[in-house]
Amino acid sequence: MGIFNKRKYPKKDVILSSISYSELIERVWKACKESIERIPKDVATFILKAKTNGLTPQNIYERLEKEEWSKKQKAFAEIALTIFTEYEKELRLSNEIDFSDMINQALIELEKNKSLYENSLDHILVDEYQDISTQRYRLIRGMMAINHNCKLFCVGDDWQSIMGFTGSNLDFFVRFQEYFDHPARTDLSINYRSKKYIVDAGAELIKYNGDGQLKKQTIANNNDEMKILVFSSLNENKWNYYQQVAFHCVNTVREYLNKGYAPNDIRILYRIGNPYLENKIFEYAKSNNILIQKNSRNPQAIKLMTVHKSKGSQAKVVFLLCVDKGLYGFPCEIEDPFIFEPAMDKRLNNKDEEERRLFYVAITRAKEDIIIYTQKNNESMFLKEIHKYIEVTEF
C-alpha cells in the first residue's frame, strides 16, 4: 500500500491497495461486457445518424479516407459500415424501406417533381422543433419553397434538446434566423409545472452551456422556496452503493404512499438502464407490497424509467438515481457519442452539453419534490453546478 499524488488530481492523496487476481478480472470483465453489449445499439444509432444526415455508406467511406479521425472512430466506423452496407442490400432485396428512408425519398420526390404539393399549404406547424435533424429541416425547406405564401410555426425548447442520438441538430433551433427569413420569436417564460426552486435550479444549470443555448428568462408560477434533497452515500463499494440506494428509495416511496400520494404521482428516473440496480429496486418493492414497473402505463404502478423515456411526462415527486461519475452515472460514461461523428454532418463540440440538458429534463419532471441520490466523493459535476439549490444528507 502506498500514497502518491496523481497527476490528474494533484491536490488529492490517493491510497493504493492490492486486490486479488479474480477480483481484478471480475471488475475488468464487467466494464468490457457493458461495452460489448452496447455494440448492436451503437451500430443502429450510427446507421440512423447517417441516414438522417443524408450519408450513404460510400459517402462515409470517402470521409474516412479524406478526413482525420481517431483510431477508435475508424475502427467502429468500419464495423458499422459493414453492417450498414448489408442492411441496405437486404432492404433493396425485400423491396422495403425504413422510417429514415421515407423522409429521404420524400426529399427526392420533391426535387424531381417541382409541382408536387405546390401552393397547397398555408401553414406548417412543427412541434418539438428542438429535435429537428438535417433531414427534416431539408423537408421543411423543400415544402416552403413550393408553397410561396406558406407560414412556418415552430414550437420547442432548446433547453430540452436531448435527441442527439436520433440525429437532431440544435443549430437549426438556436440559429433559426439563419435558416428561415423574417423570423418572429415569442418566449413562453412562465413555468406552470414546477416549484420555484426547481425552475431556478434548471435555469442555473443551463447557464453552463454558454452560447450553446438561447438566453431567456424562466419564471415559476409556484413561488415555494425549498431545496433539492440530495442523499449522498458513504458506501465506497459500487454494488453495495446501488443496493443502498435501492433500499432507501423504496422506503422513501413507501413514506410518500403512506402520506396519501398516488402511485402515478411518483416517478423513479435514472440516466441509463442498470440491471443490478433495477433488480434490487424490484426486490425491495415486492417485499414492501409496492408495485414498481419499468416503463409501465399502469396508473396503479410507480414508473421506473430512463430520463429519455420521461420526456413529456411529469409527477409530483421524482427520484433521480445515480447522479455521480461512472458507467451508469450522470454524465453517463458508458456512451461515447464521438464514435458517431463520421456519420454526422458536423463535429461534436462538447458531449457534456446534451448530458446537461438531459439532467435539466430530469429535474424539471418534478412538480413538487425532487430527490437525488449520489455517492460521496464521486458526485456528478451537475450537482456542483446547482449547489445553491441542493441540501445534502449523508447516509
Q: What is the pLDDT of residue 3?
A: 46
Residue 333 has pLDDT above 80, yes or no: yes
Contact of 386 with 205, CB cutoff 8 Å? yes
Residue 2 has pLDDT above 50, yes or no: no
DSSP 8-state code for residue 94: T
Q: Domain check: are 136 and 258 in the same one?
A: no
Residue 167 and residue 111 share a domain: yes
Instruction: Kindly tell me the number of DSSP H helices and DSSP E strands found in the chain.
Output: 13, 13
Q: Which of 60, 93, 126 is at the close of a domain?
A: 93
Q: Same domain, yes or no, for 25 and 48?
A: yes
334 domain residue, yes or no: yes
Q: Which helix (H) or strand (E) holds 26?
A: helix 21-52
Same domain? For 354 and 282 the reply is yes
Calculate Rg over the CA atoms of the chain: 24
How do residues 32-48 score in pLDDT, each as one tens digit?
A: 777 777 889 999 999 99
What value does the mean pLDDT take over residues 296-300?
91
Model confidence at 206, in pLDDT bands (50, 70, 90)? very high
Q: What percent of the chain has pLDDT over 70?
A: 95
> What is the H or E stretch that residue 276 is in?
helix 275-287
Task: Choose among 163, 162, 210, 155: nearest CA to 188.
Answer: 155
pLDDT at 102: 93
pLDDT band at 31 (very low <50, low <70, confident <90, very high): low
DSSP 127-139: SSGGG-BHHHHHH
The per-residue pLDDT for 13 is: 65
3-state secondary structure of 268: strand
pLDDT band at 137 (very low <50, low <70, confident <90, very high): very high
Distances (CA, A) of 154 to 107, 165, 172, 212, 314: 20, 21, 11, 19, 23
276 and 349 inside one domain: yes
Length of the chain (residues): 395
Contacts of 76 (CB under 8 A, 6+ apart): 42, 46, 339
17-31, 123-137, 199-213, 351-365: least confidently modelled range: 17-31
Nearest to 142 by CA among 113, 164, 165: 113
Tell me, yes or no, whether 139 lies in a domain.
yes
What would you measure as the largest C-alpha separation in the chain, in angstroms?
A: 77
Domain of residue 117 covers 99-179
Give alpha helix (H) positions in 94-210.
99-112, 134-146, 171-174, 176-179, 196-206
Asked if residue 165 and residue 87 are part of one domain, the reply reads: no
pLDDT number for residue 5? 46
Tell me how far apart the alpha carbons of residues 334 and 313 are, in angstroms, rounded to a whole number.
25
Q: How far is the C-alpha of 254 from the C-alpha of 257, rounded, in Å? A: 5
| Whether 251 and 296 share a structural domain | yes
For residue range 227-257, list pLDDT tens digits in order. Answer: 999 999 999 888 899 999 999 999 999 999 9
Q: Has residue 184 been placed in a domain? A: no
Span 312-325, mean pLDDT?
96
141 and 196 both lie in a single domain? no
- Tell how strand 390-394 and strand 228-233 pair up: parallel
Domain count, the chain: 3
pTM across the whole model: 0.85
Indicate whether 104 and 80 sit together in one domain. no
pLDDT-derived band of residue 7, with 50, 70 and 90 as boundaries? low
- Element containing residue 55 per DSSP (H, E): none
CB 230 within 8 A of CB 384: no
- How confident is the model at residue 186, as a pLDDT? 95
| Domain match, 255 and 366 both | yes
Same domain, 123 and 77: no
185 located within any domain = no
Q: What is the rounded CA–CA span in Å between residue 205 and residue 308?
A: 18
| CB atoms closer than 10 angstroms to residue 88 | 16
Distance, CA of 228 to CA of 206 (rounded, Å): 16
The dihedral sign for the CA sequence 372, 311, 212, 187:
negative
Share of the chain above pLDDT 90, in %: 73
| Stretch 261-289: mean pLDDT | 95
Specify whether 125 is located in the same domain as 150.
yes
Domain boundary among 151, 179, 207: 179
Angle between helices 57-66 and 21-52 (to 10 degrees): 110
Q: Can you read off the three cell numbers belonging to residue 71?
A: 483510431
